[in-house]
Structure 1
Amino acid sequence: MSGRARRGAGSSVPTGLALSGLARAVALGASLAASPWPALAAEGDCFGYGELGAGPGPTLGTVKAGAARVPFLRGASERKGCPGPDPACRETAFVVPGNTVILAGAPGEASPGFVCATYVGQKGTVRSGWLPEGAVARAPDAPGQRSRDWTGIWRAPEATLVIRQAKAAGALSVKGDATFGALDPDRVRRGAVNLGSVDGTMAPSGPSLAFTMGDRGTLPYAGGEAADCRLRLTLLPPFLLAQDNNACGGMNVSFTNVYRRTKP
């Protein structure tokens, strides 16, 4: 199935081994939750950076120098009393000093002293979990984004977004393709890879850009019908965060992911 399929689809969220620094491995203990990647699925749990367009939005942080490894901590639903100082709360996955992490928009509200952080490896694999707040330095607010900060080819596992300057002043053209199953040799052999695409033109508002793919062109995010493909982007250099409504392609196809720019 390809194109603007109207049937809903679940998110395809990458799992696997996340790389820390240049070569260190981060063990992956659990996969991320599906769209919209709630920052706090339940009180004391951390599964992602939160829903884009809601609240203050995610920010960046850097793991401070100190301990050689800073392990992620289990959430409340995994073990009573977590996150906390009890060694039993520690997971095998860890980050190291200098790693950049994406912090949930309202970190620590449910677990004071801890931040809900997402680490993105160089190959696009992701890992979210609690970190001690004292182990992470929050990055200063980024300067205002320019069009050239957006433009380029952005890639994530099984998804690509191409952003170019549009003809209309201040507007950007966003085109993308995504798959589900393209990394599975068996699905490829059986011709069971599902496809999806997005295509829209809209002016960004600060670090955010959002639109709906209507039958006759691009619409504001709140426009169109419930089954129309909707895409919301947040620019958080060096990352581009994307979130769709699971209506932008075939079964299980989703653009929801963290992207890195491969070409300006």
Structure 2
Amino acid sequence: MEWTNKMTGARNVIPAIKTTLPAREILLALLMLTCVSTKIPAQNVNDNPANWCRNGLFPSDEVEFKLAQVRGIKGSQIYFLNDTDGCPGTDAKCRTKSYLIPGDQVVVSRRYGSWICSWYQPRKGSETVGWLPVDSLVISEQVTSPALEKWIGRWKYDNQSLNIRRDSKSGFLTVKGDAIWRGTGDNVHVGSVEASASPQGDELILIEEECRVTLKLVGDYIVANDNSECGGVNVRFNGVYRKGRSERVSMSSVSILRVGKHWIASTVTASGLTSRENL
């Protein structure tokens, strides 16, 4: 840019001001932008927060389920941790009232930092699901090809049941399952599945029309996950099942015979044992 001094007539030139930044300053600006936090909360199954560990989500975890046993000295207690904001963690607000003792067994799924999502299913009563410290457990490697006999029996979880037997002709496993959802008052919905299939490793997939149920054998437990198409509204087979006792009368065949003047009840249990009793 030029201008003329009216008093002297001299012409002066004003140097142009650079409007571009040096390369070093541009690079610095870019680095500052990359340092700005763009962290997005980690997502897990069905777009739920990664720190969630709940019974309704557990069977759908897309990981390999494993069996674990609580370790520790006699008398020690390992508390479950919840999944509220900032949990699991060492803060007292994360600890629940539920705890396990050494020797208890749990089914575990995915990890979150130093914790692992765990499901405790007692022989009687409701399950407890939450985070447990990984270092408090002895985690077993999953048996990927369990013996066929491990599947056979009557399995139970809450109001759901799975009766699994082997078809002597086809060699397939035949499964008959029943599920019930109880609402308020007399609001009850039911569902069922009946199908035959052959296990693929530790997994058994049942398909009956629109209904699809995936069973995974984990030690002495079955983790079931369905596609929500196996019955009425809210009816699900999802859960962790335990096998019932093999000698229960419900799994027995009872025949009434008359011998002379006496009536005799002949009972054949699931294991093939026979007992007779005078009536």
Instruction: Check whether TM > 0.5.
Output: yes
Partner of 2:90: 85
Q: Does residue 248 of structure 1 match 2:194?
A: no
Read off the aligned partner of 2:98 and give its amino acid letter: A
Q: Does residue 201 of structure 1 match 2:196?
A: yes
Partner of 1:5: none
User: Which SS does the other structure have where 2:199 is aligned?
Assistant: coil
Partner of 2:78: 70
Whole-angstrom distance in 1 between the partners of 2:144 and 2:234: 36
Greater RCO structure (CA 8 Å; 6+ sep) = 1
Where do 5+ consecutive residues of structure 1 fail to align?
Answer: 1-36, 215-227
User: Which SS does the other structure have where 2:60 is aligned?
Assistant: coil
Deviation at 1:40, TM superposition (A): 8.9
Deviation at 1:168, TM superposition (A): 4.8
Partner of 1:11: none
- Structure with greater strand share of residues: 2
The equivalent position to 1:258 in structure 2, one of 231, 240, 243, is 240
Q: Does residue 94 of structure 1 match 2:113?
A: no
Read off the aligned partner of 1:86 and give its amino acid letter: D
Partner of 1:239: 221
Read off the aligned partner of 2:48 and give its amino acid letter: A
Whole-angstrom distance in 2 between the partners of 1:212 and 1:126: 27
Whole-angstrom distance in 2 between the partners of 1:39 and 1:113: 23
Deviation at 1:119, TM superposition (A): 1.0
- Structure with greater helix share of residues: 2
RMSD: 2.4
Instruction: Report % sequence identity.
Output: 29
Q: Is the 8 A contact 1:40 1:47 kept in 2?
A: no
Q: Is the 8 A contact 2:142 2:218 kept in 1?
A: no
Please say which structure displays the higher CA radius of gyration: 2
TM-score normalised per structure 2: 0.65
Whole-angstrom distance in 2 between the partners of 1:120 and 1:73: 16
CA distances 1:189-241 after superposition (whole Å, capped 9, x unpaired)? xxx32221100011011110003212xxxxxxxxxxxxx11111011121111
Partner of 1:163: 164
Where do 5+ consecutive residues of structure 2 fail to align?
Answer: 1-43, 247-279
Report how many residues are paired: 200
User: Which SS does the other structure have where 1:247 is aligned?
Assistant: coil
Q: Is the 8 A contact 1:124 1:156 kept in 2?
A: no
Whole-angstrom distance in 2 between the partners of 1:132 and 1:231: 31
